[in-house]
Amino acid sequence: MVIRMMRMDGVKKNGRDLRKLDLELKPRWVREHPEEAGQIFNSVPVADQAQLALTRRGKDRMELILLSHQARGLVHRLPESELYFTIKELGEEDSLPILALAGSRQLTYIFDLEFWDHDRLIPEKILQWLDRLRLADEDQFQNWIKKADQELLIGALQKLVQVLVVDPDNLGAEPWREQEVFTLDEQYYFLLSESKFRPIVERILITLREIDPEKFYSLLDQVRMVLSSEVEETAHRVRQGRLEDYGFYTFDQAFEIYRYLSPAQMERLIKNPERPEPVKAGGARYPVLVSREVPSFLAESLKALSDLELEDFYCQFALLANQVMIADLMDLTDLDTLKRAAEKVYGYLELGLGSWSKDDPVRALEILQRQWLQHIFQAGFSRALKLRFRAQRLVQPDWFRSVGKPFHLFGEPDGNRIQALLQKRPKFYSGEKPLGTREFRSGADLSAAEQSLGRAEFSVLYFFQALGLDQPKLSRLLSIYPFELNFQVILSTFLVNGVVKDKPEFEPVSAEDLSVFIERAMSRVPAGKTKGSAPKKLLRKLDALLRDEFLRWLWKRRLEAGIDDESRVREMCQAAFGEMEMELGRLKRVKKINPKLISSIVVFWKQSAEAEPHKKEGKQ
């Protein structure tokens, strides 16, 4: 369920209940009855109009804004990031009516994001946005040119044109006259970096000259003589200073959100919170709106916050989303990356709040009220980071690095979950399409990853310490097995060898040995018990006494090795027994088994003309 971003229950302004107003002005009704909707919308002050507009997105938000008789004042009340993402969601070309109403601070925010790729100005983006601004409103265009940072103007012009001046000693014969140049005054000439830029570049130059001729020529001289790298660096530094107010810190600063927060530090923060002063102005809503669902524990806690506390949450959430985009090197101008960043923030806030409060709703509310949201995020990320540390220890041994596809040893989904934990930022493998991995969203995700990691750690400990598996034996099994080898298959092979050779060992078995195993260890299923759905094709089952005997033997080896987890031995055996029965129990011919059809056990088979030993074969 999406959290409502505004608290309007019971709030009356100017005789109007804003909650009732929100219900009256349904988006579809607004489109169908614009005049009536306009009368209702304009019956409240512009501040309340802005509050109502912030509860909506994209086209629905723009339609409300354009109903207002004070549309410019309404737009100016929107946080800069709110206006920017409204424009991005509408599409730049369809948002010109909104762009025409923007204030100078809002335009500066938009251009600070759009003109740059990291620390480099992008001439195409500069011209695109200035041309849009000119089309939206000529006065807006001229006003922005007039107020723009001088370093930005110089840096942009250096990217777009080369400024040339006449040579009195060689008048009319300057070498550059042979190129495609243009002039406004027969004194300064301009050579474009690309001819397609001319219409908008010429418009910029004319506007600059009309605003202040003296400043215009001073600007051109600086374009000619000042090092472009120095100007661009200065412009970027000024831009970075502005963006830091919105949470767009330097990479090193943004990376602080991934700092490990220990339980001891959390206890210290409970006693001495380091939360910044709450914001007094309205915070950006868009980041919390882009995700369809809010995690359940966090959502319940947010319901108990006051209006002022919720405003502060919006602001801190937006800052966190911006930090994530910087730290993860995301495209700051892409709506999809904002959505991914917001979902990541939601997920780690859910994990952090749950772990810090020990799932106590009363304590969770207190933490939300008193702690910095970044610390709650760090508490959640630290839980995933602990799993990553364990996964790193798991893959350190030499035997692991010697295996071509070592994660397959842990089976599905455990192997993929461990791989996901080892990514630059730990991820959760859910098996969902198309990529399978995503950000952690809940305690259930963390629990599933922890269980997979626990099974993998146990398998390594048990096989290598209790059962005597080593790197040479593992390599031999891998060289014979044509599928993706896992510990379950290794255990089944171990069992078959024990029955046939009276000694469990990690060696491939022959087809003949497998036939002997089936005759000795598997009993025929009575015909009457084969009726039904899945079991009807099962002809044999493992002998129950053999199951118990093997399980007792494995428990004994566990005790001798000092390994505690008895339940994992049973779980591992049951999975291996089940897979063997599903495959071997359906074989009609057991005297002459085709090894290429067996995947539950490592069966040695000679290379044939049709297949190679290492080629992966599908089950038949």
Same domain for 509 and 388, yes or no, is no
Please report whether residue 1 resides in a domain. no
Q: Mean pLDDT of all residues in the chain?
A: 88
Find the domain containing 113 and state its range: 79-246
Quote the crossing angle between the two packed helices 138-147 and 123-136, to the nearest 10°: 130
192 & 337 share domain: no
pTM: 0.82
pLDDT of residue 283: 62
Q: End of a domain among 202, 217, 246?
A: 246
Average pLDDT over residues 500-505: 90
Contact between 541 and 585 (Cβ < 8 Å): yes
pLDDT of residue 281: 54
Q: What whole-number distance in Å separates Cα of residue 107 and Cα of residue 590?
A: 78
- The answer on 327 and 272 residing in a single domain is yes
**The pLDDT value given to residue 527:** 63
pLDDT band, very low/low/confident/very high, at 288 (cuts 50, 70, 90): confident
In a 10 Å sphere around its CB, with 0-12 CB exposed, 13-18 middle and 19+ buried, how is residue 14 labelled?
exposed
Strand-strand pairing, 16-17 and 12-13: antiparallel
Q: Mean pLDDT throughout 325-334?
A: 92
Q: How far apart are CA 113 and CA 239, in angstroms?
A: 9
The verdict on 261 and 383 lying in the same domain is: yes
6 found inside a domain: no
- Do residues 197 and 123 make contact, with C-beta atoms less than 8 angstroms apart? yes
Whole-number Å distance between alpha carbons of 233 and 120: 9
Do the domain assignments include residue 54? no
| Predicted pLDDT of residue 615 | 42
Mean pLDDT of 145-172: 89
Number of domains the chain is built from: 3
* Backbone angles phi and psi of 302, in degrees to 5: -65, -30
In whole angstroms, give the CA distance from residue 334 to residue 340.
10
Q: Which of 430, 459, 488 is the last residue of a domain?
A: 459
Of 218, 246, 274, the last residue of a domain is 246
Q: Is the pLDDT of residue 3 over 90?
A: no
359-382: pLDDT as tens digits: 999 999 999 999 999 999 999 999
- Which residues on neighbouring strands pair with residue 603, listed in sequence order? 509
pLDDT at 169: 76
Cβ neighbours of 31 (radius 10 Å)? 12
Residue 410 confidence (pLDDT): 95
| Token pair recorded at residue 27 | 């988006």
Same domain for 363 and 490?
Answer: no
* Strand extents, DSSP E, 27-178: 116-117, 120-121, 161-165
Q: Give the confidence band of 49 by pLDDT, cuts at 50, 70, 90.
A: very high
Residues in Cβ contact with 201 at an 8 Å cutoff, skipping those fewer than 6 apart: 127, 160, 161, 190, 192
Same domain, 360 and 409: yes
Angle between helix 150-160 and helix 123-136 axes, rounded to 10 deg: 110
List 191's β-bridge partners, or say none: 162, 181
Show the CA angle centred on residue 242, arms to residues 238 and 243, nearest 5°: 115
Let me know whether 413 and 522 are in one domain.
no
- Residue 243 above 80 pLDDT? yes
SS3 397: coil
pLDDT of the residue at 528: 55
Same domain, 129 and 266: no
Confidence of residue 352 (pLDDT cuts 50, 70, 90): very high
pLDDT-derived band at 10 (thresholds 50, 70, 90) equals very low
Alpha-carbon dihedral angle through residues 250, 252, 257, 261, given to the nearest 10 degrees? -160
* Residues 7, 31, 34: CA angle, nearest 5 degrees: 90
Distance CA 360, CA 379 (A): 16
In a domain, 72, yes or no: no
For residues 408 and 515, membership in a common domain is answered with no
Confidence of residue 618 (pLDDT cuts 50, 70, 90): very low
Which residues share a beta bridge with 163? 190
User: Average pLDDT for residues 157-179, to the nearest whole number?
Assistant: 86
Residue 609 lies in a domain: no
Residue 71 lies in a domain: no
Mean pLDDT, to the nearest integer, of 477-481? 91
Among candidate residues 159, 262, 244, the one with its CA nearest the CA of residue 204: 159
Residue 110 has pLDDT above 90, yes or no: yes
Is a pLDDT exceeding 80 seen at residue 535? no
CA gap 150, 134 in Å, rounded:
19
Q: Give 279's DSSP letter.
A: P
* Cα gap 375→370, rounded to integer Å: 11
If asked whether residues 257 and 391 sit together in one domain, one would say: yes
Tell whether the model's pLDDT for residue 612 goes beyond 50. no
Whole-angstrom distance, CA of residue 600 vs CA of residue 582: 9
User: Is residue 20 domain-resident?
Assistant: no
Whether 484 and 452 map to the same domain: the answer is: no
**Residue 488 pLDDT:** 95
State yes or no: pLDDT of 4 exceeds 60. no
Q: Are 595 and 604 in contact (CB under 8 A)?
A: yes
Least confident of 343-357, 393-407, 448-462: 393-407
Cβ(350)–Cβ(295) below 8 Å: yes
- Same domain for 227 and 145, yes or no, is yes
pLDDT at position 389, please? 96
**Domain presence at residue 86:** yes
Q: At what angle do helices 198-211 and 138-147 cross, to 10 degrees?
A: 70
